[in-house]
Amino acid sequence: MITTANIKNGVNVDQLVETIGAVQENPELAKFEFRSKNNWIEGGHCVSSIKSFYGVGAEDTSRQEIFTMECDHPNVLLGKDEAATPPEVVLHALGSCLTGAMVYHAAANGIEIEGAESSLKGGVDLHGFLGLDAEVRKGFDGIKVRIKVKSNSSVEQLENLAKFSPVFDMITNPTPVSIEIVK
């Protein structure tokens, strides 16, 4: 007997349903810890490496490769323009996560998505970062996301599915961050 996987939007819906059922039966399986190690090169140039994470009740051992990402700053911001800036990486993470959340949740709801592309932009006023004005925020003063989706679903439904994004939640709700400097 030949069976074919139930794939929608590139997502194996049967596995997704099994995962949901497993988490409902054992809520501890839902606990994940993602990690990144960052090394400073010079100026604003840094390289992060990512491999290990904890999830589904154990340390993951499936990843064979280490993923790396670099950040730098353009020349006008005293960098060497060797990589995207950290704020640009945040926009990348947000766009990727909004799209991924929308696609996965659409698949789970039987919604077909034929294509999706997004553009994101966020404004920053350097008065905050440079310490010139304590009233000016150091980060984005807002982020505008435009997602163009080819689907028969309603815009409202697709927007609600995208908002399942963990990165959207991290950005739109304060996330506690603790910093420990060690020597």
Residue 18: its pLDDT value, please?
Answer: 93
**35 and 55 Cβ atoms separated by less than 8 Å:** no
Closest to 36 (Cα-Cα) out of 116, 96, 118, 93: 93
Residue 40: its pLDDT value, please?
Answer: 96
**6 and 12 Cβ atoms separated by less than 8 Å:** yes
Q: How does the average pLDDT of the chain come out, rounded? A: 96
Q: In the chain, count H helices and then E strands.
A: 5, 10
Residue 4: its pLDDT value, please?
Answer: 72
Query: What pLDDT, in 10s, does the model give residues 89-119?
Result: 999 999 999 999 999 999 999 999 999 999 9
Query: What pLDDT, in 10s, does the model give residues 143-166?
Result: 999 999 999 999 999 999 999 999
Output the pTM of the full model: 0.92
Using a pLDDT cut of 90, give the percent of the chain over it.
97
Residue 74: its pLDDT value, please?
Answer: 96
- Distance from C-alpha of 145 to C-alpha of 122, rounded to nearest angstrom: 9
Mean pLDDT of 69-93: 96
- Is the pLDDT assigned to residue 2 strictly greater than 80? no
- How many CB atoms neighbour CB 75 within 10 A? 9
DSSP string, 67-120: EEEEE---GGGTS---S--HHHHHHHHHHHHHHHHHHHHHHHTT--EEEEEEEE
